[in-house]
Structures are given as structure tokens and as C-alpha cells.
Amino acid sequence: MDVFLPIAQVFINPVEILLISAIVGVLSGLFGVGGGFLMTPFLIFMGVPPAYAVANEANNILATSVSGSTTHWLKNTLDYKMGLMIVVGGTVGTIIGIFTFTYFKDIGKIDTVISLAYMYILAIIGTLMLVESLGEIDKAKKNIVERKKLHVHYWIHGLPFRMRFPKSKLYESIFTPIIIGLVVGFIAAIMGIGGAFILVPAMIYIIKMPTRLVPGTSLFVTIFVSVIVTFLHSINYGSIDLMLVLMLVVGSIVGVQVGQKLGEQIDSSGLKALLAILLLIVGIVIAYDTFFAEEIQREVSSKELTELNFFSKFIKEFSEDMPFFYGLFSILFAVILGISAAFIRRLISKFRKKYFNKPVKQTK
């Protein structure tokens, strides 16, 4: 049974949304990359207008990032100082991205811009991942151990105003994380993605952060960037649909937990190649849909307000009458879901360790 989204003004199948968001969540948890660059195109394929797909996926990323970041906070695997420096750049980048989004929306080209951005990004990421994974598989077969250089210096390492980051044990220019955050924030505002596919490698190879601190710090940064993106999209365009967000969050959080567990048990080199191929296929489909497919006019049923159910009517009226507070509520909604998921996961983990992982007594 299809459900009508009061903000996006389209009908969607909730089972399909839950299933696809869960699958994307599994891939995110398995490979440690954000699922936004997959979920947003899937939403577009399912009939959600691109501008709405971007905004709602950003809110979904906020919830999943809060969930993951809370887990890392409990494990003390976060570098707050480094994260805040990246957030400074991310804030500026997000604001620039929203202005860019607004410009293309005003001239009626935003759907094309979003499609082109995803087409190129997926092609680049998919190709790089495919080359890397095939190389890993080949080296594993030949038992080749590659020695990597310990110190590789780029122009960004020569920037002034160096600062100490005690948690990461680094002495780095403040401009390094700020520039990286600026790029991530700009991309997040345009495409509705967390930017982990840029942020994680940059933190490892450019900033040289300890690997154990990278996932938690990346999620910490994504929280702030996603908050800004969600809020600005909500008050400027009224494009956050809480009914869609709820389905996306539930599916994604469950999927991420499953993916993380699978990642601890299996070798993901071969699966990474399959993920890369999937990204390339999605990029090709977006290209075809943008340049070759015949334009289909979607007839959207303009339901009267009286025909909507109570929850849908509340969302529509709330977003139209109080867009500022609706934006804040959307953020709070995602944060509560994310924190709840993290603590539920912790309770389940403790319960399992207490009752199902009892040590075996040794007999003499």
C-alpha cells in the first residue's frame, strides 16, 4: 500500500523505502562509507523530486551519524578539537553550497545539477574503488606485501598557523582541516550526503590522524554539517518530510548495525568490487535518465488538506505555518532517533555478553 508524502507531494511504497534504506545501511556499515550517494539516487528513481531527496537524506544522515558518533563517544574514540576545526570549514562550505543550490533552483536547473553531480561523483568513486579492490585481490592472490611511505607531504602541509591536537598527537596547520571541511560542507549542501567518502581518506592520508579516531571524528563532523544542511533546506525550501525521514532512519540504522557486524566477520575485498560496480551502474542509470530517457510528467494527486490523515495534516501545517521551528523539530527528531538507536544497541550488546557469551569453565 502506497503512502502519500505531504511535503514531497508524491506517493511512495513504505516497504520499498525501508528495504532499500536497510540495504544501503548494510553497505555503509560494511565498508565504512556513507550511504547518501546511493540512497539519494534511489529516492529519485522512486519518484521523489531531487530537491526533496537531497534534503531528506541529509536529515537521515544526521540521525545515523548521531547514532554512530554516540557509540564512539562511549568508547572515547573521538578527537573533538580536530573535529571542531573541520566543522568550521564545513559551516562555511555548507552556506556556500546552499547559496549555489538556491541559484540553480531559482533558474529551474537544480534537478539537472543534482543528477550531473551524482553521475560524475559515482563514476569517479566507483572507478577508484574498483581499481583499488581489484588490486587488493590480485596482491592477496600473489601474497604481495606493499610497503607504504610513512610520510608523504603535500602543499597543504606547508600552511601556517599550526596547532597541537593532543588526542591525535598531531601538530598541524588549522587551515588543513578547515579546507577539507569546506569541501565536505559544499558537497553535502548540494548532494545531501555526509561526505565521508572525502573526509575519511583526507583524515587518514592528509591530516595523518590515527585510524582508530577517524570513524568517530568523521561522524562527529557529519552531525554538524547535516544539522546545518537540514535546517537551511527546511526553512528555505520547506522540503523536509518527517514521514519519509522516519522510514529512512529506521531502515538505515538497522542496516548499519548489521553491516558493521558483517564487516567484523568477512573479508570485504571482493564485496568492495561489487559495491564499486553497483556505483558505476547507478551512475550510468542517472546519466541515461538525465540525457536520453523521455521526460515523464508525473501526475501528482494534489490532495486537499482535509483528505490527509492526522499525522500528514500536522506535518504539512507545521511546515507551512512555522518553518523555523519545523526545521528545529526535524533536527531534534533525527537526533533523538539516533541517540536512542545507539543506547539500544549498547543495551543489546551488554545483554548478549552477559547471557550468551559466558566463559567456558576449564576442567582439570
Reported as a single tens digit per residue, the pLDDT across 180-224 is: 889 888 988 887 776 676 787 788 778 888 877 887 888 888 888
How many CA atoms lie within 13 Å of 50's alpha carbon, on the beta-carbon side? Answer: 22
Looking at residue 219, what is its pLDDT? 82
Mean pLDDT of 152-157: 58
Exposed/middle/buried for 132, CB within 10 Å: 0-12, 13-18, 19+?
Answer: middle
Point out which residues pair with 315 in neighbouring strands. none
Q: Name the average pLDDT for the chain.
A: 78
| pLDDT surpasses 80 at 309 | no
Per DSSP bridges, beta strands 3-5 and 10-12 are antiparallel
Q: What angle do CA 92, 326, 302 make, to 5 degrees?
A: 110
The mean pLDDT value for 237-252 works out to 86
This prediction has a pTM of 0.74
Rounded Cα distance between 343 and 349, Å, is: 10
Burial grade of 185 (CB within 10 A; 0-12, 13-18, 19 or more): buried
Identify the H or E element spanning 355. helix 323-355
Q: Which helix (H) or strand (E) holds 347?
A: helix 323-355
Confidence of residue 298 (pLDDT cuts 50, 70, 90): very low
The least confident of 147-151, 182-186, 197-201, 287-291 is: 147-151
Alpha helices in 164-296 (DSSP H): 175-191, 196-205, 214-237, 242-263, 269-291
